[in-house]
Amino acid sequence: MEMNKRKIPFSPPDISELEIEEVAKALRSGWITTGPRTKELERRLAEFCHTSKVVCLNSATAAEELNLRVCGIEEGDEVIVPAYTYTASASAAIHCGAKVIFVDSQKDNCEMDYDKVAEAITEKTKAVVAVDLGGVICDYDKLYQAIESKKNL
């Protein structure tokens, strides 16, 4: 079954007055990182996700590195990353000591070439970093098929 191609607008941002007020409250509180508002957000997210603990980080880059570390990515492992992305996609893997394997984009768009993902997978591949870029969502079904085609390595 072919899924409808989804595109999330890259710009303009969708920011309401409520969000602006909340940012102003945070700035006025004197805490802009790990203060009481962050702890409240962590508590509420944990409740929403039905888990005992949530940790807020300062960036998606930090979150990606934490994800890789939690998954056990370490020196000698390979992590496949799209060639067309922000450098953070690769730097998180490098910080874990992994070797980055770049996969080029498809001929007519910025999505990574899923056939090339399958070709790049080796016995050392421990992760594939999917990137939704500029409002174009990764085709996760095709990516999973590419990974599944190599699962017996």
Q: The whole model's pTM is what?
A: 0.76
Domain 60-148 annotated CATH 3.30.1360.120: no
Model confidence over 128-143: pLDDT tens digits? 999 988 778 889 999 9
**Strand, helix or coil for residue 79:** strand
Q: What are phi and psi of 27, to 5 degrees?
A: -65, -40
Model confidence over 96-120: pLDDT tens digits? 999 999 999 998 888 899 999 999 9
CA distance 95 to 81: 14
| Segments making up each domain of the chain, as ranges | 17-48, 60-148
